[in-house]
Amino acid sequence: MMMMMMRRISERAATGFSKNLILRSSASRFHGESLDSSVSPVLIPGVHVFHCQDAVGIVAKLSDCIAAKGGNILGYDVFVPENNNVFYSRSEFIFDPVKWPRQQMSEDFQAIAQRYGAMNSVVRVPSIDPNNHERASNTHVMRFLERHGIPYHYVATTKDNKREDEILELVKDTDFLVLARYMQILSGKFLKGYGNDVINIHHGLLPSFKGGYPAKQAFDAGVKLIGATSHFVTEELDAGPIIEQMVENVSHRDNLRSFVQKSEDLEKKCLTKAIKSYCELRVLPYGTNKTVVF
Query: Which residues are catalytically annotated?
Result: 238
**Could you tell me which residues are beta bridge partners of residue 87?**
52
Neighbouring CB atoms inside 10 A of 34's CB total 11
Decide if 21 contacts 286 (C-beta within 8 A): yes
For residue 229, what are the β-bridge partners? 202, 245
Q: Which helix (H) or strand (E) holds 76?
A: strand 72-79
Dist CA 91 CA 76 (whole Å): 4
Angle between helices 58-68 and 102-116 (to 10 degrees): 160
Q: Which amino acid is at 99?
A: K
HSE toward the beta carbon, residue 134, CA cutoff 13 A:
2
- C-alpha neighbours within 13 Å on the C-beta side of residue 94: 16
Query: At 171, phi and psi to the nearest 5?
Result: -100, 5
Distance, in Å, from the CA atom of 285 to the CA atom of 178, rounded to the nearest integer, reads: 18
Q: What phi and psi, each to the nearest 5 degrees, are found at residue 246?
A: -140, 150
